[in-house]
Each structure stands twice: as C-alpha cells, then as structure tokens.
Amino acid sequence: MRAACWYGNRDIRVETVPDPEILNPHDVIVRITLTAICGSDLHIYNGFIPGMQRGDIIGHEFMGEVVEAGSAVRRLKKGDRIVVPFTICCGECYFCQTKQWSLCDNTNPNAPLLTKLYGASGAGLFGYSHLYGGYAGGQAEYARVPFGDVGPIVIENGLSDEQVLFLSDIFPTGYMAAQNCNIQPGDVVAVWGCGPVGQFAIRSAYMLGADRVIAIDNIPERLELAKQANAETLDYKSKDILVELNHLTGGRGPDSCIDAVGMEAHGNGLEHAYDRTKQALMLETDRPGVLRKAIKACRKGGTVSIPGVYGGFIDKVPIGAAFAKGLTLKMGQTHAPRYLRPLLELIDRGEIDPSFVISHRMTLEEAPAAYEMFNRRSDGCTKVVMRPN
Amino acid sequence: MEVIRHHLSTVNVHPVERWISVLGGGALTLSGLSRGRDGMLRMVTGAAMLQRGITGHCHAYEILGVRTAPSHVTLPYELGVRARASVTINSPREPIYKFWRDFENLPRFMRHLVSVEPSDGQRSHWVARGPGNRQVQWDAEIINEIPNELIGWQSLPGSDVDSAGSVRFREAPGQRGTEVRVELQYNPPAGVVGAYIARMFGREPEQEIAADLGRLKQFLESGEVATTEGQPHGPRGRVAVAVEEAIA
C-alpha cells in the first residue's frame, strides 16, 4: 500500500510499504476512505516530537471501511463504515471504565519509555511517535486498528465522509476544551488559536452556553472563519491582547481562556524572541507564549483550558498569577470516545457541519506538498483532507 | 533497585541461642574477674558472647553465611541484588493469583522467560533467554504460599542463578482492583556466567519487572498484550536499522 512516512524535519515521503496485518485478536484492518493532517502532526513535521523513527507512518485522523476483523472482535464486522478516534483504548482498565479514555493503561507497548519521561503513560496513539506506542498511522491506504470494538464509531446514516471525519480528533478536542471551561450563563470565553481545534472550540463554547467568544489569531482567513461562528476577533500582531481582553470584558477578564495553540506558539516582541532562543538552545522544549497570556488574562476564579499539545518543559510560566487568582487549569489528550456518539448526533441533527473547516482536498500522493502548505498556512490553508487514491 | 552488601536485619542468632550467649557470656565474664591474667581471656570472650546475645548478631555466622534467627521475610537470601515493582490490576485477587500460580503462564508476560514447567506441586523448571539467545536454566521451589495472598519461591542448590522471589496480592482500596507487588532477589555467581546473568536481568531490573507487570496487567485486563511488532513502515535506512539491531 501507499503511506505517508516521516523522514526527518519537514521531510514527508509517500512510500510503498507492506499492507498491515492483524497482530492481536481485537484488531481490525480498515481500508481508509478519508484522512486528514492535524495541527499536531505539524509538531512532528517540525521535529518537536521526540521518539520518531525514519519511515514511521503518520496520521491519526482517519475513517474507512472494515475489511478484516481479529478473532476476538464481536461488534464490528466486515463492511462497517467507521470513524477511528486517535486514542487507542482497551475499554477494560480503570481509566477506560471511568471514561478517561486517553489515559488508558493498556495500549502503549512502550509505556515504560513514557513512564520514565512523565511518571506514567496514557493511551497509545496512532502515528504519534514511539513514545506513544509507535503505532502506524492513518495517512495510508490501510491501517490496523487495535481494540476495534472499543473506540471506533459505526456510521450508519447518510452523512458524508467529510462531515464525520473530524470526530476522530479535532471536533471532540475542541468540544472537550470548551466543556473543560465549565461554561455558565453570561460567560465570556477567549480562544487563542483559530486553527481547526480553535474553530471547534469556538462553536462548542457557544453550544455549551457561552455568552460571548473572543477569538485570537493573526491569520485573516482563520479570523474570518471565527467571525462566521459569531466570535469577536482580535489580531495579536496589531493589538495588545491583554489590554483588549480587559477592555472587552469590563475589566473582569474572560471567564475562561482556551489555549488551542500549544508548544509552537507564535507571538511578537521580546517575549517571543526569548522563547525561540531558549527553544533553539534546547533550554526549553515548548514555547508557552499563549499559556502565559491565558493565565494573565483570565478572570479571578476562572479556568484555563489547554487542548494545545505540550510535550516537555516550559519556562517563566506565571504560576504566581494562577495561584493568586485561584485559577483552574484543565488539560490533556482528548477522551475522544466519550464524545463520538453525542457529537455525531449534533451533526446528524444539522446543528453543526464540521466540513466547514476544510480548505483543501487533495490525494494521499500529495501529502508532502500538503504538509508544506499547512505548515506555512499558505494559500489560506486551515485544514487538509486527503483521499487515498 | 538495591544492592545489599550487608544483612537487612543484623539479627542472625536464634533467641534461644541468644539467651545462652547472654547467660554463658555473663558467667564467663564474672568468673574472669577474679583470675588475673588468665581471667582477661575469659572476660574478653565473655564480653563477646554477651554482645552476641544482646545484639543477636554473630560475626562468625555472618562470615559463614549462617543464620539461625527465624526469618519473617519471604526472601531467604540476604546478599545480592534486590529489586521490586508493583502494579494495580483492575480485577479481584483470585483470578490474578490463579493465573500467576500456574507458572506456565509467566512467559506470556515476562520477556526473558522461555518456559516454566512444573515438575510437581512445589517444584518447577525455568528456562530464560539471555543476551545472544543463550539459554539459562534453573529449578525453583515454592517455599511459602498463602492462597490469593502470597507466593514465594527460591532456586534450588546447583542452579545457574541463585535467586528468590515473592509476589503478593492485596486488595486495592475503593474497588480499584488488586495491587500486585513483586520482589526479586538474586545473587549471580562470579565470573563469566555471572556477568552474563547480570546482563540478562538488565542494568535496571526494577524497570524490567515493572515492564513485565505492565504486560501482565494488559493481558489480564484487556485480553491481549499491546504490540506494534510486525506492522508496516517505510524503509528505515541503513543507519536506523543498525541502531535498531544494536538495541535489540
């Protein structure tokens, strides 16, 4: 089969590789009909995710048709059309049974490596480094999906691939980010980053009852997309965000702040130069420019919700401000399976059509160009979906 | 991990022996008081016996590796390397204990084991794979067993590996399953074989055991051991392959 493989910094190649096989009794094999590049794939593309090996198949947002099922698979059968959540979950451990799916105990074969780094390991992830299990990803023609009966959702209605694909990651991720804000009537939610996750966070915040959403970015197309969802927008390059947020909220500050940017934050001025330098010198792994501002801006007693990915160590984070204002910090990989059914119902009822976020439709063979474009945000690129031939 | 170079508990003399030492040593010391030069020897010997009785520690026993004090620990050996690890499994104690007690199951999650064959209810034959695919074999015997709570075993004399181990099963609070705690102690012989066996257990035996327990948990909770071995990837390139082979 053909698959997009990682070969180093900004080096993605489409290679011919062996087809995946059933390795464990709960596995299914999926023939992929649509796959996408996630913003978090760009962290891999830019070399910020440790534990990658040359030739690794990447991609964790995919859907398709079940073509083979392992001996212990009961629920799924050949021909089922499924969306695969990016977290691999066993369904039987304490965390799966308490619906904290992304913290699954049993699906990362390299858990000892991650345990050394973090103290414990969460779920294995598709195409997201050997620290997260080294599972081959879904930017390919076929993928092996462990525990097929647990995570994937069967799509039985007439919705198109483009409408349901993002149940795999970014829609649940944006939704959980908003849910983590514990939104109350009258709340103002500030969202940093108007990429795909930010877009879903904005829409989810409104669905969960936010009074106003303020979206922050500096890419015109993305701010425009936020505006279409009724968000007020701020361009961080032309305004002092902290002053503006304070002003827009009557001096209270936003009730919740969502950091939908993560480790590769862009900013301006001295602070951004400081983080870029420290990162280049490997004195910090992640650039926390957005997180600092979110903590600074948030109202007393508010929540800072972090769907943006962080991987290592950050510097000069104003923990004193977070403490003094009694903030709640919520973060983590998305418990994707928790949201599949309720969000599919929202799509089915027509309350949201997730395909709004797609800017480019390409083929798997074009993956290298797609990565380059998405990384540069050129040609108005917000989201690329790819069809494997 | 802990490398033990001295006794865990310094007490290695049985209580009855200790009283004999105290009484005998006391009498000898007293008898020495009235005997001039000859009495000095009695006093020194008596004092040493008194010390042995009071502290319960005998230097001669330590040197000889003898121990007469009753042991409450499962692991009878006091020298060598000691490693421990634990895991919580989302299951009641009984099935976990049963699975473990059937020693033939152990190679399913212990990476170094090739096979364990029970020869009778208490004894079993263990085969492990070391570096370079060389095999190491030994016989072990269960020395302590409380159903659903504890299994303790040790290698029989003449084994390549002088080892002992125990596994304890304890109910975790709040219905969080069962805590499985493993302690291993081994004393590799000196020389080439010893170095080889030490390598087999790895430089970080606690992490090896923790990884084994992780696989046990995966198997018992989810019904399979997570793996990505055998899945596709693009060409790795010569350097990457060399690195992988070196790691393997």
Predicted confidence band of residue B27 (pLDDT cuts 50, 70, 90)? confident
Domain presence at residue B233: no
**Residue A193 near residue A257, CB atoms below 8 Å:** no
Please provide the average confidence, as pLDDT, over all residues in chain B: 81
Does one domain contain both B217 and B138? yes
Check if B85 contacts A (Cβ < 8 Å). Answer: no
Say which residue the tokens 């016989």 belong to: B139
Residue B141 lies in a domain: yes
A377 DSSP 8-state letter? T
Helix (H, G, I), strand (E, B), or coil: what is residue A144?
strand
Q: How far apart are CA A29 and CA A152, in angstroms?
A: 12
- Asked if residue A368 and residue A382 are part of one domain, the reply reads yes
Which percentage of chain A shows pLDDT scores above 90? 91
Query: Is the domain of A77 the same as that of A94?
Result: yes
A139 and A64 within one domain: yes
Q: Is residue B127 part of a domain?
A: yes
pLDDT of B65 over the 60 cut? no
Q: Give the mean model confidence (pLDDT) for residues B232-239.
A: 86
pLDDT at A379 exceeding the cut of 90 = yes
Is B185 within 8 Å of B80 (Cβ atoms)?
yes
The answer to whether residues A192 and A319 belong to one domain is: yes
For residue B184, give the CATH number of its domain.
3.30.530.20
Q: Domain limits at B34? A: 9-64
In chain A, which residue's Cα lies nearest the Cα of B240? A54
A109-123, A145-159, A243-257, B233-247 — which is least confidently predicted? Answer: B233-247
Residues B111 and B181 in one domain: yes
Which of A277-281, B52-56, B149-153, B196-200 is predicted least confidently? Answer: B196-200
Last residue of a domain, one of A310, A331, A352: A331
User: Do residues A27 and A13 share a domain?
Assistant: yes
Beta-ladder partners of B132: none
Residues of chain A whose beta carbon is less than 8 angstroms from a beta carbon of chain B are 1, 3, 5, 7, 13, 15, 17-21, 23-26, 53-57, 72, 90-94, 97, 105-109, 111-112, 115-116, 124, 133-136, 144, 146-147
B94 and B185 in a single domain? The answer is yes
Number of domains within chain A: 2
What integer pLDDT is reported at residue B1 of this predicted model? 53
| A135–B228 C-beta distance less than 8 A | yes
B200 and B134 share a domain? yes
Q: Given an 8 Å threshold on Cβ–Cβ distance, is B222 in contact with A135?
A: no
- Identify whether the C-beta of residue B240 lies closer than 8 Å to the C-beta of residue A8: no
- The beta-carbon neighbor of B232 closest among A18, A24, A109 is A18
Same domain, B58 and B173: no
Chain B window 163-202: which residues touch A at a Cβ cutoff of 8 Å? 176-177
Q: Are residues A49 and A128 in the same domain?
A: yes
> A94 and A144 in one domain?
yes
Closest CA to A278 of A317, A239, A246, A247: A317
Q: Are residues B50 and B146 in the same domain?
A: no
One domain for residues B60 and B85? no
**Record: contact A109-B223, CB cut-off 8 A:** no
Q: What is the pLDDT of residues A163-176, one digit of tens each?
A: 999 999 999 999 99
pLDDT value at B76 more than 50: no
Verify that A145 and A181 share a domain, yes or no: no
CATH number at residue A266: 3.40.50.720
Residue B50 lies in a domain: yes
Q: What is the pLDDT of residue B174?
A: 93
A138 in Cβ contact with A127 (< 8 Å): yes
How far, in Å, CA of B116 to CA of B106, rounded?
7
Assess whether pLDDT exceeds 80 at residue B44. no
ipTM of the complex: 0.91
Mutate which: A5, A16, A94, vs B, most B CBs within 10 A: A94
Same domain, A311 and A352: no
pLDDT at site B77: 47
Q: Give a yes or no: residue B1 inside a domain.
A: no
B93 and B55: one domain? no
Q: Cβ of B121 under 8 Å from any chain A Cβ?
A: no
Same domain, A184 and A161: no
Clarify whether residues A325 and A344 are in a common domain: no
Closest CA to B221 of A103, A91, A111: A91
Of the residues B109, B221, B222, the best mutation for testing chain A's interface (the one with the most A CB atoms within 10 Å of its CB) is B222
Using an 8 Å CB-CB cutoff, list chain A residues near B230. 21, 23
Q: Clarify whether residues B103 and B213 are in a common domain.
A: yes
Q: Any idea what DSSP says for residue A147?
A: S
Domain holding A247, by residue range, is 171-331
Q: Is residue B239 part of a domain?
A: no
Residue B146: per-residue pLDDT: 96
Q: Are A55 and A78 in contact (CB under 8 A)?
A: no
Residue B243 resides in a domain: no
Inter-chain contact A23–B228, Cβ cutoff 8 Å? yes
Q: Which residue has the higher pLDDT, B7 or A279?
A: A279
Q: Are residues B100 and B137 part of one domain?
A: yes
Q: Do B226 and A109 touch (CB under 8 A)?
A: yes
The SS3 call for residue A330 is strand
Could you tell me if B99 and B157 lie in one domain? yes
CA distance A47 to A58: 13
Distance CA B178, CA A348 (A): 43
Same domain, B107 and B192: yes
Pair (A325, A368) in one structural domain: no
Closest by Cα among A92, A138, A117, A23 to A313: A117
Q: Model confidence at B68, in pLDDT bands (50, 70, 90)?
A: low
Whether the pLDDT of residue B140 is over 90: the answer is yes
Q: Total domain count for chain B? A: 2
A277 against A67, higher pLDDT:
A67
B246 inside domain: no
Residue A2 to residue A14: CA distance in whole angstroms:
6
Cα gap A229→A225, rounded to integer Å? 7
CATH number for the domain spanning A137: value is 3.90.180.10
pLDDT of residue B81: 76
- pLDDT at B168 (0 to 100): 97
d(CA B215, CA B210): 9
